[in-house]
Structure 1
Amino acid sequence: MALTSRSRRKLSAPEAFVGSFLGLIVAGTLALRWLPGLYTGEPLGWTDAAFTATSAVCVTGLIVEDTATYFTFEGQLLLLALIQLGGLGMLTLTSMVIAAIGGRLSLRSEAVASSAQEAVPNVPTRRLIFGIVRFTLLFEAAGALLLYVAWAPSMGWREAAWPAAFHSVSAFCNAGFSTNADSLMSFQRSPFTLGIVSLLIVAGGLGFVVVEELLGRYRDRSAGRRRRRLSTHTQLVLSVSAALLAGGWVLFAVFEWHGVLADLGVGHKLTNSLFMSVTARTAGFNTIDYAAATDSANLLTILLMMVGGSPGSTAGGMKTTTFALLGLLAWSRLRSQASVTVANRSVPEETVQRAVGLAVLATAVVMAGIFLLASFGDLLHKGDPFLGRAFEVVSAVNTVGLSMNVTPHLSPGARWLIIVLMFVGRVGPLSLAAALRARLARPGKYRLAHEDVVVG
């Protein structure tokens, strides 16, 4: 016991974070295999159970079996629990319970929770953890209520309750799981439904630190206090998110106006184009058939999936701040500036280096995944296009969940590859960022002589 306790104390924050997700995936896989009453037919095999559990815990949304028809209510309830736990993070939940009973947060939990706190130092760790759970439940409850009001007249007042709750949690956690066989394609002409789901996705993808800071400014204004300046982190998240949403909205409308959206009216075309821009940023719900979309729209979706949401959120991807820092770095170099500046502030060189490192590794993982999936040649349908395979890999690595109808045709070997990519995409960026922070913060004992290299 002493050895076990000593080993546990040696776990670093990234190791504890990765271990919590891995443990939840294993537990979910065993539950999907052994618990009775989860399926309408034959139970999932080991590979498909691991795939489904990983997709739920990593809030990805890729499925090998239809959630609506293959799973019973109990099965869908288990998936929703895995999505919720994966969205919040096991360590966050544990920290919240400890704080609720008056105990002190463990150093491991504080290390994980405080990683986002560096950008907004005015948010205490304990308050941040309470805020994560409180705002999550508040947004999900509000979303469920609004979806229930929208769906009850057509589905029935009793029948609409479960789909409303399921979709609200799935949307806020950016999971993309749906109790409808066609995801949200049947709601193409329901702007209210698409608007609610979009707001939930955006709220979940902005990041808890950003939401807390915005609410703090609102409380200051309500109390008549002088409002604090928005942190550079929050300003960057809000501006980049708005630009990506607006740009994607316009481009999707242009690419698919006479394509998959051709049968819709002007208002519904605009609504669905906006939803396509929202959901591509790691949400996974779809109102169109991406296999029937143009190559331009699918390539744009891949690019938006690569960027993803914001740090400290339920979304995946390389993150909006990383994307912004890469652009700002290029712009500063073009102007021969020594440092990266934004909002009248200079960004630390260490942070810029972490952003570059994260982007390079994320791109390398995607390229390796595409190469392996293309090299396997083990799709049952040999005619599936290369773009579909690349789309699948990017969706998995960035925990999005969109697919060009490739997932059900993957062989067991390819499914295990996607499992690994989903897991790496969910826990890899945070762990890598922590590792890079520790490595870059450690000064070396000496520096080797400079020698220039020709680039460009």
Structure 2
Amino acid sequence: MSPARRRRIYKWELDATARTRRASVGIAWEQITPEWLFLISFLALIAIGTIGLRAVPFFYAPGATGLGWIDALFTATSAVCVTGLIVEDTATYFSTWGKLWILLLIQFGGLGMITFTTVLIASLGGRPSLRQEAITASSREAVPTVDYRGLTRHVVLFTLAFEAIGAFLLALVWVPRFGLVAGVGHAVFHSISAFCNAGFSTFTDSVMGFQTWPITLGLLMVLIVVGGLGFLTLEELWMNVRAWRSRRGFRMSLHSKIVLLMTGLLLVGGWIGFGILEWDNTLDAIPGWARPINALFLSVTPRTAGFNNIDYAEMSAGASFLTILLMFVGGAPGSTAGGLKVTTVALPALLAWSRIRGQRVTGFLKRTVPEETIQRAVGLIVLGFALVTGSILLTVISEGSPPERFLDVMFECVSAFDTVGLSRSMTGDLGGFGRLTMVVLMFLGRVGLPTIASALTVAAYRPLGDFRYAQEDVVIG
């Protein structure tokens, strides 16, 4: 065989190998489900954030030694998962560039990498993939009035608009105190952190220094609540406003009605509860006229915001447990908030109320909720409870915590899983295993247990069919 022929054959073999590799990569990429794409985007962002915090020395203030790998992973996960738990003081340990890096992780994590990717493709004249559209339109059946093709663009517009307005108003209040540059910097950071329900602060004592600043507390609460309502509800509220302006009728979905009702009930109930439990305790040092708004802030911040206006280590056991309950519920689906979500908690309550009244179906506001949705809600509550309970047990054992710190450990685990960021001064005392446990809890809480289950369960992508085993009853109670 001539040398020229051997070269041609060799080149053909190389081209064939390359074509086979490209085909296999293409097949593997097409097999990635929306849930896996969502998980991969968050894992990639956490990895980038961790490497940045570990490798860039000018992210730290003069005198700071820099974070180790575990602490860098913890901080990056806390920022991407918009939690707010910290192992080092953000205000003093990081430089301006380090704070900006954390802020970018919060912003990308709060909105989700998929949202930014979709907007980038659209701005370049491309079209989002079917996987990205599947993620955006996962709740199409629950809220059919929303245009899901334009929802992603509206998500970014809503976010940037509220963050810009919040930063502008906070700057008006803070610039006279901190100066132009520092005041604007604090305002932008806290506006993004509040709307994304992140809880990171550029003040060492979070917002404890603003206990007698009702405008500051009020602005932060508005940003937190709006960010926790969920973009589907915000979209429907905007559609309702446009329909009212044009004198057209508009029916809001049951989803948004439950979100708004539960949000109001939890805020008012928490406000009254904290006012009673903490009036003569942590609120005692605050002037009487400022205690009501601080009690309301105590009700708002467990909605996974994570800002603290009092020292939670000094909070009473009753108020701490009330905070745990509010953290466990969290915000609304499709929002920057974490937790089990208000609709998940509301459906089993509606189920119980319907059964008490002798009704065979679960209804609310002249609508019947599908039985499958209620079963998923009950399953999610059971899984969340089991995961948090197991994490509390592991943390207590690994940290060797004394009995008097059990409430602190429970508070920390619930705060991590529900991406809140509040702490009873426990985070800094955790060892390496405890911090890694919190990392896992923050990630699972941010991406959501349904996403994890769908990604890991192959059967979730197969038609279930009508097959079932023979029925057999079980004695309960």
TM-score, scaled relative to structure 1: 0.96
Structure 1 residues without counterparts, runs of 5 or longer: none
Amino acid at match of 1:63: I
Equivalent residue number for residue 240 of structure 2: 217
How far, CA to CA, are the matches of 1:373 and 1:417 in structure 2?
8
Is the partner of 2:368 in helix, strand or coil? Answer: strand
How far, CA to CA, are the matches of 1:116 and 1:167 in structure 2?
30
- Aligned: 1:280 with 2:309: no
- Aligned: 1:177 with 2:200: yes
How far, CA to CA, are the matches of 1:428 and 1:246 in structure 2?
27
Equivalent residue number for residue 119 of structure 1: 142
Equivalent residue number for residue 451 of structure 1: 472
How far, CA to CA, are the matches of 2:332 and 2:458 in structure 1?
18
Amino acid at match of 1:409: D
Once the two structures are TM-superposed, the CA of residue 434 in structure 1 deviates from its matched residue by 5.1
Q: Is the 8 A contact 1:378 1:414 kept in 2?
A: no
How far, CA to CA, are the matches of 2:164 and 2:276 in structure 1?
35
Equivalent residue number for residue 24 of structure 1: 45
Once the two structures are TM-superposed, the CA of residue 438 in structure 1 deviates from its matched residue by 7.6
Equivalent residue number for residue 101 of structure 2: 78
Is the partner of 1:159 in helix, strand or coil? Answer: helix
Q: Is the 8 A contact 1:61 1:401 kept in 2?
A: yes
- Aligned: 1:14 with 2:56: no
Equivalent residue number for residue 18 of structure 2: none
Is the partner of 1:183 in helix, strand or coil? Answer: coil
Is the partner of 1:370 in helix, strand or coil? Answer: helix
Per-residue CA shift, 1:369-405, capped at 9, x if unaligned? 10110111356xx586100000000000000000000
Q: Give the aligned CA root-mean-square deviation in angstroms.
A: 1.7
How far, CA to CA, are the matches of 1:439 and 1:3 in structure 2?
24
Q: Where do residues 287-306 of structure 1 align in structure 2 (5 Å cutoff)?
A: 287-306=309-328
Moved more, 314-323 or 108-117: 108-117
Equivalent residue number for residue 239 of structure 1: 261
Amino acid at match of 1:49: A
- Aligned: 1:427 with 2:447: yes
Once the two structures are TM-superposed, the CA of residue 101 in structure 1 deviates from its matched residue by 2.6
Equivalent residue number for residue 189 of structure 1: 212
- Aligned: 1:358 with 2:380: yes
- Aligned: 1:346 with 2:368: yes
Q: Is the 8 A contact 1:358 1:432 kept in 2?
A: no
How far, CA to CA, are the matches of 1:433 and 1:192 in structure 2?
43
Q: Is the 8 A contact 2:399 2:430 kept in 1?
A: no
- Aligned: 1:149 with 2:172: yes
Equivalent residue number for residue 398 of structure 2: 376
Equivalent residue number for residue 325 of structure 1: 347
Structure 2 residues without counterparts, runs of 5 or longer: 1-21
The 3 A distance-change label for structure 1 pair 437 and 426 is: farther
Per-residue CA shift, 1:112-133, capped at 9, x if unaligned? 0001333221222221000100
2:425 to 405, 409, 412: 405
Per-residue CA shift, 1:8-28, capped at 9, x if unaligned? 111111111111000100010
The 3 A distance-change label for structure 1 pair 106 and 310 is: same
How far, CA to CA, are the matches of 1:438 and 1:186 in structure 2?
52
Is the partner of 1:447 in helix, strand or coil? Answer: coil
The aligned length equals 453
Q: Is the 8 A contact 1:116 1:312 kept in 2?
A: no
How far, CA to CA, are the matches of 2:459 and 2:100 in structure 1?
39
Once the two structures are TM-superposed, the CA of residue 192 in structure 1 deviates from its matched residue by 0.3
How far, CA to CA, are the matches of 1:216 and 1:372 in structure 2?
47
Is the partner of 2:59 in helix, strand or coil? Answer: coil
Once the two structures are TM-superposed, the CA of residue 443 in structure 1 deviates from its matched residue by 3.1
Q: Where do residues 226-265 of structure 1 align in structure 2 (5 Å cutoff)?
A: 226-265=248-287
How far, CA to CA, are the matches of 1:275 and 1:155 in structure 2?
23
Is the partner of 2:235 in helix, strand or coil? Answer: helix
Equivalent residue number for residue 42 of structure 1: 65
How far, CA to CA, are the matches of 1:437 and 1:245 in structure 2?
40
Amino acid at match of 1:174: N
Is the partner of 1:452 in helix, strand or coil? Answer: coil
Q: Is the 8 A contact 1:14 1:430 kept in 2?
A: no
Amino acid at match of 2:204: A
How far, CA to CA, are the matches of 1:177 and 1:112 in structure 2?
27
How far, CA to CA, are the matches of 2:339 and 2:414 in structure 1?
9
